Amino acid sequence: MAMTQISPQSAPRLSMRMRRAIWVWAFLALPVLFYSVIRFYPTIDAFRLSFTNWNLMSPPEYIGLQNYREMFASAEFWKVFRNTFAYLIIGTPISLFLSFIIAYFLDRIRFGHTFLRALYFLPFITTASAMGWVWRWFYQPAPTGVINSVLGAVGMGQLDFLRSTTWALPSIMVTAIWAGLGFQIIIFMAGLRSIPQTYYEAAKIDGVGDFAILRKITLPLLKPTTIFLVVFSSIGFLRIFDQVYNMTTNDPGGPLGSTKPLVLMIYQTAFNSYQMGAAAAQTVVLFTILLIISLLQLWILRTR
Amino acid sequence: MNYITKATLMAGTIIVSSTAANAVEIDYWQYIFDTRVAAVDQLIEQFEEANPDITVNHVTFPYADYQTRVVAANMSGNGPDVLQMFYGWTDNFVNGGVLQPLPTDVFPTEEIEADFFPIVTAMKRGDDYYGLPTAVRSLALFYNKDLFAEAGIDNPPETLDELVDYASRLAVKDSGGNYTTVGLTVEMGGQDHQWWREVLVRQFGGEPYSADYSTVTYDSEAGLAATQWYTDLTTKHEVGYTGFMDEGQAAFRAGRAAMTIDGTFRLGSFRDIEGFEWGVAELPANAEGLRSNYASYFANGIGAGAEGEELEAAAKFLQYLSSPEAMQLWLEVVGELPARPEVALTEANLADPIYAPFLKGLEYAHTTTFVDEQAQRQVTMDMANRVFLQGQSVEDTLAEAAAAEQAIIDRAR
């Protein structure tokens, strides 16, 4: 901004601008180069590889759209696709709703505020794999699993959790939601704090009720925060891997593939079966989904 | 002695001529597993003492990305000279140009086939051998002697019927109907898939695959009977279920599984069980006395990139790794069975209550040729889970599994 305001009247000034630009680019070159090599090149190369049959060892062989045809024809892929969207569609609203409720009430209390906030944040800074294993043991049948032991002690039946094709995905989702909650609460609280108090004071003077304040003032003014968190959390759920992998290592993504997300499928195709081309095709699908969802959310943000 | 004299002379020459021309450095790769790393370190030390002109660099990686590292390094031309690999990876590694055939002047085919257990042929492609094992693994039945004594059972089961009978007597449930102890661990994800494939299917009169392992043949009456028998363990006889205490071996370690089927490689972790006495028995026979077993091994092969004096050194090192001395050391340090009958079937080993059942198993063992072991294991796990979790009929689940596995094999060939 400052640079454009300097009017280019004489030659030395111009060269000064040039020199500055060179300096700027000299510093920018490193991250640009880094990202080109580490991020952009592999991303673009994935598109190329998705049209090949490559097992890492023999040179890639061009096979056109065969990887895509096989992928879209496979029942397993569609199951994994549904699972991925189940994580997204159930996980994102629940986690946002919970974190908003907690942030909203946490914002109103003074006693134990810092302690509670730290407590909620704690899971976020814990290693995902460690957390996955702890929850995996929670979910075990009695006598090892805490939850089932308690259920048994109060005379209730056992829940199969991770051994059920119906309940394994929700069980893992609970862990993932719990893990991300702390971060979302902190962001929501920052958002709540940034709403000017004057609005609330004015509303109170006018005698507006708590619920109306929430609906008419808090939620609308919190929209940028909410949108950020929706994007952030959606991408997180679409890329879920750690929790699933660690909670189902004996049967990764199981039982019967009922918890397998796209990223785990990509991992298995690439590094267990060494079908790099097929894995690249799956990656392209994931990339496309992420792109569409991000663009959609940017669009919602713009028509605010 | 001769070696030492030679070594001294060699060392002297090196110092005098002060050239590094005859010092060869080779890389040996394996995955990280404490006892295996310790064993190889000792072997390298002894090898270098005998061959002072050769230096062996021992490089290790976590198991999870070992294969990927080998393949990636091979692509960039920095692959190992000698590497350890699962026999099941041979197809991939040979087709991908990771391995080169063992030089026949150092490793004559007749000698290999005369000196090693027959399962070594899983390393043969065409007329060439691509690797040799130091140690082999087989399966056996581990049983908890304390639980057997409590239940008044004197001996481990000899037959499949006895296995079912004992296992159902040993399983204990609480008032709520939950298992507190399982009679036998039922877990395809553990070693049961091997047991089902190479042992049960055969014991019920079938063959799991065609002779060259290119066609799935367990979708047969025998396969059906074997699968029915296996799933009945949970659904009918209620001896245990998949997922009890997370993993079968964990349940056994905790003293909550009376029996489990596992391999030699489990000995290391079961040896420090303190709470109870355990024993090992041969896998039960069928009513006609037919036994079978599944044997597998990690072999050492020579990397495709080794040539000239490095190849010579690599062959020398591989020769040492598959020598009787190395096998004895491996048995002592790692606990895996020697791959040469002359070292394995010694009187001392055959009298050993723990090694003996595994060694007997080797005599009649089969070695599955996998094209993608994890994917093929997954097929078997899913086959059992469809019965356990979705109540699918054994006929349907078996047919589905056979089709899925055949597809995996066809894709790889």
- Asked if pLDDT for residue A127 goes beyond 50, the answer is yes
The verdict on A255 touching B (C-beta cutoff 8 Å) is yes
pLDDT of residue B155: 94
SS3 B56: strand
**Nearest-by-Cβ selection for A250 from B65, B74, B189:** B189
- Residue B209 pLDDT exceeds 50: yes
Is the pLDDT confidence value at A7 over 70? Answer: no
Instruction: Quote the pLDDT of residue B16.
Output: 42
Angle at A28 between CA A25 and CA A32, to 5 degrees: 120
* Alpha-carbon torsion (B115, B117, B118, B120), positive or negative: negative
Predicted confidence band of residue B75 (pLDDT cuts 50, 70, 90): confident
CA-to-CA dists, residue B157 to A229, B163, B227, angstroms: 60, 5, 20
Quick: pLDDT tens for A228-252: 899 889 999 999 999 999 999 888 9
Alpha helices in B322-372 (DSSP H): 324-333, 341-344, 347-351, 355-363
d(CA A139, CA A119): 22
Contact flag A254-B247 (C-beta cutoff 8 Å)? no
Q: Which chain B residues are within 8 Å of A148, Cβ to Cβ?
A: 178
Is B92's CB within 8 Å of A165's CB?
Answer: no
Question: Positive or negative CA dihedral for B345, B346, B350, B352?
Answer: negative
Q: Which of A25-39, A88-102, A150-164 has the highest mean pLDDT?
A: A88-102
**Environment class of residue B128 by beta-carbon count within 10 Å: exposed (0-12), middle (13-18) or buried (19+)?**
middle
Residues 225..244 of B with a Cβ closer than 8 Å to A: which? 242-244
- Average pLDDT for A74-93: 94
pLDDT at A16: 83
For the entire predicted model, the pTM comes to: 0.84
Distance CA B272, CA B340 (A): 28
Q: What is the pLDDT of residue A206?
A: 87
Q: pLDDT grade, residue B137 (50/70/90)?
A: very high
Give mean pLDDT, residues A125-130: 88
Nearest CA in chain A to B77: A57
Taking an 8 Å cut-off on Cβ atoms, the answer to whether B92 and A140 are in contact is no
Amino acid B7: pLDDT: 55
pLDDT of residue B22: 62
Is A60 an 8 Å CB contact of chain B?
Answer: no
- Cα–Cα distance for residue pair A144/B255, rounded to 1 Å: 13
Mean pLDDT of chain B: 90
DSSP character string of B144-179: EHHHHHHTT--S--SBHHHHHHHHHHH-EE-TTS-E
Residue B18 banded pLDDT, cuts 50, 70, 90: very low
What is the model's pLDDT at position A2?
Answer: 44
Residue A57 and residue B176: Cβ atoms within 8 Å? no
* C-beta atoms of B385 and A251 within 8 A: yes
Section B337-341 average pLDDT: 92
When CB atoms are compared, the residue of A162, A250, A271 closest to B247 is A250
Q: Which of A155-164, A198-207, B132-141 has the lowest mean pLDDT?
A: A155-164
User: ipTM of this predicted complex?
Assistant: 0.81
Question: What are the backbone dihedrals phi and psi of residue B274, each rounded to the nearest 5 degrees, phi first?
Answer: -115, -25
Look at B390 and A165 and tell me if their CB atoms are within 8 Å: yes
Query: Testing the interface with A: which of B386, B389, B409 to mutate, by most A Cβ within 10 A?
Result: B389
Mean pLDDT, rounded, for B160-187: 91
pLDDT for the residue A211: 87
Predicted confidence at residue B411, as pLDDT, reads 86
Peptide bond into B133 cis (omega under 30): no
Cβ B178–A272 below 8 Å, yes or no?
no
Q: Please give the Cα distance from A186 to A99 (Å, whole number).
A: 9
State the pLDDT at residue B171: 93
Q: Is the pLDDT of residue A93 over 50?
A: yes
B154 has a pLDDT exceeding 90? yes
- The token pair at B368 is 């599955």
- Cα(A117)–Cα(A192) distance, rounded to whole angstroms? 14
